[in-house]
Structure 1
Amino acid sequence: MNLANQIQPVVHHRAYSRSDFTALRAFVQRVPAATIARLYFTEDEDGHEPTPGWVESYLRRMQADLVDLAIEHGSPVLADHLKQSARRHGSARLTAISLKMVEQAAGLAVAQPAPEHGVGMWFRPLVALRLKEAGIGTLGELVAFCSARGGSWWRAIRRIGPGRARRVVAWLRQHEAALGSIPADVDERPPFTADDSEIIEIGGSHATLVPLERMALRAALSGAVGENRSAAFAYIYARNDLEAVRAYLYRYRDQPKTLRAYTKELERFLLWAVCVRGKPLSSLLADDCEAYKDFLKTPSPAFVGPRFARSSSRWRPFASAGMSADSQKYAIRALRAAFAWLVDVRYLAGNPWKAVKDPVVIEREAGLDIGRALPAGLWQRARIYIDEQCAPREARYWRTVRVVLLLSGDSGLRREELTVARREKMRPSPYRADNVPAWELTFVGKRNKERTVPVSPAAIDALRAHWADRGLDFDSAAEGPLIKPIFVPPTPLAQERHGNGTDESYVPDAINKMVRWAMKRLIAGMPDLTVAEMTQLTSTSPHAFRHTFGTQAGANDVPIDVIQRIMGHASLQTTTIYVQAEKERMLREAARYFEKQRTPGSD
């Protein structure tokens, strides 16, 4: 066929994707086919093995298709150039510049993404691989996954960080007409941002109280020219106090619990400064800080209200009219630390909180309140009762509860640690005693530290039963959350979150609800409970089972340093609360002394 005289319409057996065009550009620039295969193609692309030979053949066919389309739809100058190249070399040869012109002319060849398209067709192989590891094979499944999980969807996928996640969502939004709409909350906002329509300027005694992300400050109260502003070159870009506070809090963006706690304290103080004290944060002196210390004891009624969403007009900084001395001390120490940082980065000239003493608090005999730990007898009876409830085939939720309680009560896991524990981080341990099978679990716990804990045989048996309820074999499984919801409630919120059938773990609040559910049934069903035991179960929380492990381990002479390692305490002093030998010895010796003081014949 003479290409110059007869142009045949191109029938596309495959629509070309963005990855295909990227691969073709590399091919035109003489990148080896083996490298292109590794970077731009995956094993399941059209069922072909992405060998260098196949890749080279595929890209040559693609180039020929695009050239034909460009000749048919491009400018006369481009068409003549391509025809002459084809006559001279047998096929049109392209440079990087001419390829770009061909792509523009052959725009009809670019595929529109469709829900049934594989993710490997539209994303780089490494991204597609991570998505497939999470069970996401098609674009439709990716849209459903993101929609169900909201802004934190990427946290369930290895090596997909927030930056890459934003780019993925932005691309999905470009093709919403073909792929379906993406809910607004899938765009995870950086901390302390809100829509312009939600921003409210505050200042003055009758100002509306809004959280930090919705806050703007009047010019006179912004701190742009605060009296305590440093004259030296600042290490942060902050034009006013609000930007400086956000810069400080942004340091904790990867520590959500710490970020929430510090945000609460700083937004309270900032609101008080501008709305009650009528001064910018960067103009406050030590006597202002003393006044806020008094304010914390009895916050103004305007600052107090029931808990509402931060987007609600009824949101208030304080949930109760009084704070405990411990909470007041925490607030002041958090503010002192924040101001110290602002001085260190040379935003402020000095730290007025250095002149303010902490509130007086009671120094407790034990640093932690472990009174809610279940006594050994009650814990053993509860375990027997729970095992009985787990026996019926339909008792799947009970079997999930049993895993939660045993991992807390036998291995000392915190509530949040239960939600991040995964099967791939659990393995049989090479260390065992008296041929008792031993397992170990590794996870990232508090303070972002990795920790390994032993797992009891009872917990392993409970996990096997829970995984069987999920239709999986625990011993042969390679990955997945250790604990996963089996039943999804029929509420719209639950269906939206879990309806895509993804590998969804529990959230911390769900662990709280689970324990409350179990305690109610223990109280109603366990025989021979005393009033004191019922009262204790009523107030039992997930953390109480962690304390139960500590107290029982200490009572059974487990070395204190071992207990510390298992529980992940930063200080050995914290762990000593579980070792009661010294206190028990003191009370026994005192009892003997009292016995000697008794007069003969007295009762």
Structure 2
Amino acid sequence: MRASPSRKLQRAHFAFMRGLLQGLDERELWNRYLRSEGEPTDRRVVRQTIAWIRDEFAAAAQREDRPGTARLVRLDPERFSMRQQTLPSLEEFALERGLEDFSEAEQAEAYADAYPDAGAGSSRRGVRPPKRARVIARQLEALRWLESHVAQHPRPADSVAAWLNPAVAERLQRSGLATLSALAAHINASGARWWRPVPGVGALKAARVVAWLQAQEGSTGLRLGAHALSPRKQVPAAVLDRAVAPGTALLPWEKFRVPVDLDGSLGQFRAPAGRCLLVAENDYEAIAAWLTAKAGSAQAGGLSATRRAYRKEAERLMLWSVLVRRKPISSLAAEDAVAYRAFLADPPLEWCGPRHQQRWSIHWRPLEGPMSPTAQRHAMTVLRGLFGFLIAQGYLLNNPFAAMTPAPASPPVGSNRILTLAQWNWLATRLEASSDTAASRRSARALHWLYATGLRISEIAAARCGHVERFDLIDEEGTLRTGWLLHVAGKGRRTRQVPVPPELVAELHQELDRNGQVPDVSSPRHAALSILGRFDAIDAFASPVSVSGLAKAIKRRLDHAANGLPDKDAVHLRKASAHWLRNSHGAHVLQGRAGRAAVPLQVVQNNLG
């Protein structure tokens, strides 16, 4: 086994080898002591690991100036016979060697010289233990001595290469997880799927690493939180809430604590208390009231998209005002607003992080990086609205963002963010040729429904089979046909009905049938079933589709579909997102296409909501 020269012997190695010498089951020993090395069914790994342990035992004995012990631990007891050897009695030995006239003490000394491994009293019994048993006994004694001298306990600053499977350790190191403390911190910050950004480490290897870290908690003091030991959906909200303590630092809105001297209770631009229509006593409570007023229609299991977007802008301003500007929000002036926009254009690195980091994680950051001019204008518009609300409610006297450059007129819907018909046809062809797995069919279904209906991603994620309604119509030729409508709850809780192509419903029926469900979207038992859910999952009827997870799956499919396109088209498709499909729907149905007439503007407006 190729191992790092810094890899250390732990007590589990000694326990495993002692069990082998005593004839215990190898697989059971492996699962108990060395599961982190790999699966016991992988004979190559097991044999290589045993050989490496023997080599390390011998090297350790050499370092302790015990060459005899080094040779002993390399011996394989299987080479020696288990048959017992009959020894001559002391009297027989004396007659054979002509020592009958010597004293018994002298005879015994000669006997011991002739049979040094016989042991005390063997000359009386006349039986010598099997050589294999003698070797095993001496090896066990050697291992006890070695363990007391060379076995070590892991420490937080130790390299992962010192304790973990070499191949796994190398992959962790390449991902920046070089020490046990760094690894534990990453797991606690990322949760049960901590292994996703580590190439070559999957769920099985990750589970072995976690089990080893838990077993070594007494030595390392590195504790893995309960939130990191189960899939995210199985972790109670209260457990996640304890993952990061509240404080005055770069923390999300719900964790951020404003110091009393900066909470705005005595803000420079606070209106007289008698004029205030809010019960808020400080800036945090006043902004919370604004967020509640902007709540919108909540999605299943979370906040509405509107409230999340507004909260993001409010928490960024709150963090900047308190941590950077050292002023209450109710003391911000026009000069502060200009400085804040400049900050958004060039934020410090410590304020930035990947979008996918969860709000409960210590890796969460308020920004992804410098904001584009368009994003800056959006932020200024939202904040202008926030301060306008606070002034209207008699909480503030001043709107520092009122003088900021207003946002330019909105460009045409979907401008430069649509797929051409050729690009969509290419994408549709790639979807048809994709692998026939449940996950692949599910993401393809999402793309087809988004393009065909023009729904927002949050709307399609919330769509259930019970929202699909069948109706009959008579076409221009007098033929009775079946049509389908999807009832959608859009922004502002406004509802609308969007037509669904019959082929999409037929495909939905096929997928239900494939998974042992009644192949009819109108079946009452399917009323709560998500259109884009897992039809094979036991909890499919209760688990909503995650908007962020759906967006990532769609993005992956778009990126993959770009392969094989000309450079310009490939770049365009890789920039695309779920919202581009909504824009493409509007553009394509308005202009019509081969075999399909253009759809009236009023119908398109209704579809898009």
TM class by shorter chain equals 0.5 to 0.7
- Which residue matches 2:587? 551
Distance 1:506 1:197 in 2: 26
Q: Which amino acid aligns with 1:507?
A: S
Asked if the contact 1:285–1:352 (Cα under 8 Å) also holds between the matched residues in 2, the reply is yes
| Cα shift at 1:365 | 5.2
- Which residue matches 1:304? 352
Equivalent positions of 1:447-596 (< 5 A) are 447-472=492-517, 473-475=519-521, 477-478=523-524, 479-486=527-534, 500=539, 502-519=541-558, 522-523=561-562, 529-556=565-592, 557-568=598-609
- Which residue matches 1:236? 278
Distance 1:565 1:243 in 2: 38
Counterpart selection for 2:418 from 343, 366, 372: 372
Counterpart selection for 1:258 from 306, 331, 334: 306
- Which residue matches 2:152? none
Deviations 1:302-324 (A, max 9, x none): 5334454333444332220x211
- Which residue matches 2:445? 403
| Cα shift at 1:548 | 2.4
Distance 2:569 2:289 in 1: 49
Q: What secondary structure is seen at the aligned counterpart in 2 of 1:242? A: helix
- Which residue matches 2:245? 198
| Cα shift at 1:184 | 6.6
Counterpart selection for 2:364 from 306, 309, 315: 315
- Which residue matches 2:404? 357
| Cα shift at 1:223 | 1.5
Deviations 1:333-385 (A, max 9, x none): 2112111211222222333333x222675x57534334432x32443454355
Q: What secondary structure is seen at the aligned counterpart in 2 of 1:347? A: coil
Q: Which amino acid aligns with 2:260?
A: A
| Cα shift at 1:427 | 1.7
* 1:440 and 2:481 aligned: no
Distance 2:412 2:450 in 1: 21
Asked if the contact 2:468–2:521 (Cα under 8 Å) also holds between the matched residues in 1, the reply is no
- Which residue matches 1:422? 464
**C-alpha spacing 1:283/1:531, structure 2 compared with 1 (3 Å):** closer
* 1:185 and 2:236 aligned: yes
Distance 2:522 2:390 in 1: 53
**C-alpha spacing 1:429/1:520, structure 2 compared with 1 (3 Å):** same
| Cα shift at 1:519 | 3.7
| Cα shift at 1:545 | 2.3
RMSD of equivalent CA atoms: 3.3
Deviations 1:474-501 (A, max 9, x none): 255121335244388xxxxxxxxx6645
- Which residue matches 2:388? 340
Asked if the contact 1:483–1:506 (Cα under 8 Å) also holds between the matched residues in 2, the reply is no
Distance 2:400 2:559 in 1: 49
Distance 1:425 1:293 in 2: 43
TM-score (norm 2): 0.53
Q: Taking every aligned residue pair, what percent have the same amino acid on both sides?
A: 27
Distance 1:413 1:336 in 2: 29
Deviations 1:394-443 (A, max 9, x none): 54444433432221122212211111112222122344544453211112
Deviations 1:25-77 (A, max 9, x none): xxxxxxxxxxxxxxxxxxxxxxxxxxxxxxxxxxxxxxxxxxxxxxxxxxxxx
Q: Which amino acid aligns with 1:477?
A: S
**C-alpha spacing 1:377/1:312, structure 2 compared with 1 (3 Å):** closer
Q: Which runs of 5+ in 2 are unaligned?
A: 1-232, 593-597
Asked if the contact 1:411–1:566 (Cα under 8 Å) also holds between the matched residues in 2, the reply is yes
**C-alpha spacing 1:301/1:530, structure 2 compared with 1 (3 Å):** closer
**C-alpha spacing 1:360/1:537, structure 2 compared with 1 (3 Å):** closer
Asked if the contact 1:463–1:482 (Cα under 8 Å) also holds between the matched residues in 2, the reply is no
Distance 1:475 1:277 in 2: 56
Q: Which runs of 5+ in 1 are unaligned?
A: 1-181, 203-207, 489-497, 569-603
**C-alpha spacing 1:287/1:448, structure 2 compared with 1 (3 Å):** same
Q: What secondary structure is seen at the aligned counterpart in 2 of 1:440? A: strand
Q: What secondary structure is seen at the aligned counterpart in 1 of 2:254? A: helix
| Cα shift at 1:450 | 0.9
- Which residue matches 2:317? 269
**C-alpha spacing 1:441/1:476, structure 2 compared with 1 (3 Å):** closer
Asked if the contact 1:262–1:334 (Cα under 8 Å) also holds between the matched residues in 2, the reply is yes
- Which residue matches 2:199? none
Asked if the contact 2:533–2:544 (Cα under 8 Å) also holds between the matched residues in 1, the reply is yes
**C-alpha spacing 1:225/1:513, structure 2 compared with 1 (3 Å):** closer
- Structure with bigger gyration radius: 2
Distance 1:315 1:505 in 2: 24
Q: Which amino acid aligns with 1:561?
A: Q
